[in-house]
Amino acid sequence: MKYIYILQQAIGWIIVIYWLYQLIISACALIQFKEKPLIKDKKHKFMMILPAHNESAVIGNLVESLQALDYPNELYDIYVIADNCTDNTAQIAKDLGAIVYERFDEHNKTKGFALQWFLNQKIKEDADYDAFCVFDADNVVDKNFLNAMNKKLCQGEEIVQGYRDIKNPSDSWISAGYALFYWMMNRFYHLARYNLGLSPLINGTGFMVDFNLIKPTGWNTITLTEDIEFSLKNIAKGRKLGWATDAIVYDEQPTEFKQSWSQRSRWTVGHIQCMKYYTKDLAKGVAEYRTLMNFDGFLYLMGIPMMVVTILLLVLNTVVFIGGEMTLGALIFNYAKYMATTLFAPVLAAVFTLIIEKRPIKPMVKGILMYPIFMITWLAINIKCMIKPNTKWEKIEHKRDVKINDI
């Protein structure tokens, strides 16, 4: 029992140190840092890449928002990858003036494979572009997006994530939960790390990559979360990713629990796959480069294991109590402490984010109250996926007809 008590104390301190580290890093989002200086003055040429699988309900709004960008029309082209489509996604995009590539591969269906297929063709063609941006088909894009990304290229950035906003935050408590999650990630993960000289992460959509960066190897991702995989591969090599608050993209989020469970399960399985393939590379990068950036990337991968460790700590507390080494009062206090962290801290963090991001609180009340449930179900998803991962990609239906001028 003595050794179990020691283990319980050790795990408790590991959890405290881990979350204290995250809190200190997040606080740097509240500090205003100087912009990086421009190292060149140029209007770059971009590929705007839109992978789409049966997205006829939303693809038109995205193409139209990109056509309305405040950027010279001759300096960007819009490419739609109609990926295993059985609807009229390709025809809608063509009618609007986008360049459409149709792909049919029943065995490799994820966005990562679609990007690999398309970008490898463009590399072989030696296409005349400086950089490319990737969007999900349900997005609409702020008119300043390319100006903001062009500025980042002029500052010497090679990989940059834009600000992922939500076009349907108040549709349901589920979409509100996503909105709160992304708004917190934008400021307290991505911006905080960028301010500190650490590395943000690519976040699925609304990101930019210097085309020259991938020419030697192509786009090669194999997990369900190609965005996180691409980020971690570059961090492991010592390459720092950038962040552009002014490059805004609006994303549609699921409104139903079943859709949300499926999507978050896919993300969790992708995270676990990245742990399998890149933990060693990141650990090696920490030893090789000896930078906080590499260590921070390694800690990101440890997010799911830390949740499991927290559950283990609760089990050990119970074992110590049964063994007579802990009073009932102490057991109740420890459970209350961990429950408060799980239930109440996210609510406070959500409200604080709304205030600092200058978002209206009233439409988000339901989302705030239900946010602990949103996060607790994510914990359940993590446990389920660790026990029985499902690597099959499942499409999330998008149907919100929102144009950029409606936002």
pLDDT given at position 154: 98
Residues 324 and 2: their CA atoms lie apart, in Å, by: 11
Comparing C-alpha atoms, which of 196, 382, 368, 205 is closest to residue 291? 196
- Higher-confidence residue: 8 or 94? 94
Q: List the strands of the sheet with 159-166, edge to edge.
A: 99-103, 76-83, 46-52, 131-134, 207-210, 159-166, 242-251, 140-141
Asked if the structure places residue 268 within a domain, the reply is no
Could you tell me if 304 and 382 are in contact, meaning their C-beta atoms sit under 8 angstroms apart?
Answer: yes
pLDDT tops 90 at residue 317: no
pLDDT tens-digit profile of 5-63?
788 778 888 888 988 899 999 999 998 888 899 999 999 999 999 999 999 999 999 99
Could you tell me if 12 and 337 are in contact, meaning their C-beta atoms sit under 8 angstroms apart?
Answer: no
pLDDT given at position 16: 84
**Which CATH number fits the domain that encloses residue 156?**
3.90.550.10
Give me the phi and psi of 99, to 5 degrees please. -90, 120
Residues 382 and 388: their CA atoms lie apart, in Å, by: 10
pLDDT given at position 31: 86
- Higher-confidence residue: 139 or 344? 139
pLDDT given at position 11: 83
Asked if the structure places residue 154 within a domain, the reply is yes
Asked if the structure places residue 377 within a domain, the reply is no
pLDDT tens-digit profile of 75-93?
999 999 999 999 999 999 9
* Mean of the per-residue pLDDT values of the chain: 92
Q: Which domain holds residue 70?
A: 38-173+198-254
Asked if the structure places residue 378 within a domain, the reply is no
Mean pLDDT computed over 269-296:
91
Q: Describe the crossing of helices 257-289 and 292-301 by its angle, rounded to 10 degrees.
A: 150
Mean pLDDT computed over 163-192:
96
Number of domains in the chain: 1
pLDDT tens-digit profile of 206-261?
999 999 999 999 999 999 999 999 999 999 999 999 999 999 999 999 999 999 99
pLDDT given at position 341: 72
- Higher-confidence residue: 323 or 385? 385
pLDDT tops 70 at residue 1: no
Cα separations in angstroms, 285 against 273, 299, 313: 18, 13, 30
pLDDT given at position 64: 98
Q: What percent of the chain is modeled with pLDDT above 70?
A: 99
Residues 57 and 109: their CA atoms lie apart, in Å, by: 20
pLDDT tops 90 at residue 274: yes
Q: Which amino acid is at 63?
A: V
pLDDT given at position 337: 77
- Under the banding of pLDDT at 50, 70 and 90, the label for residue 306 is confident
* pLDDT-wise least confident of 112-116, 338-342, 348-352, 383-387: 338-342
What are 82's two structure tokens? Answer: 């109609």
Give me the phi and psi of 79, to 5 degrees please. -115, 125
DSSP assignment of 128-181 = --SEEEE--TT-EE-TTHHHHHHHHHHTT-SEEEEEEEES-TTSSHHHHHHHHH
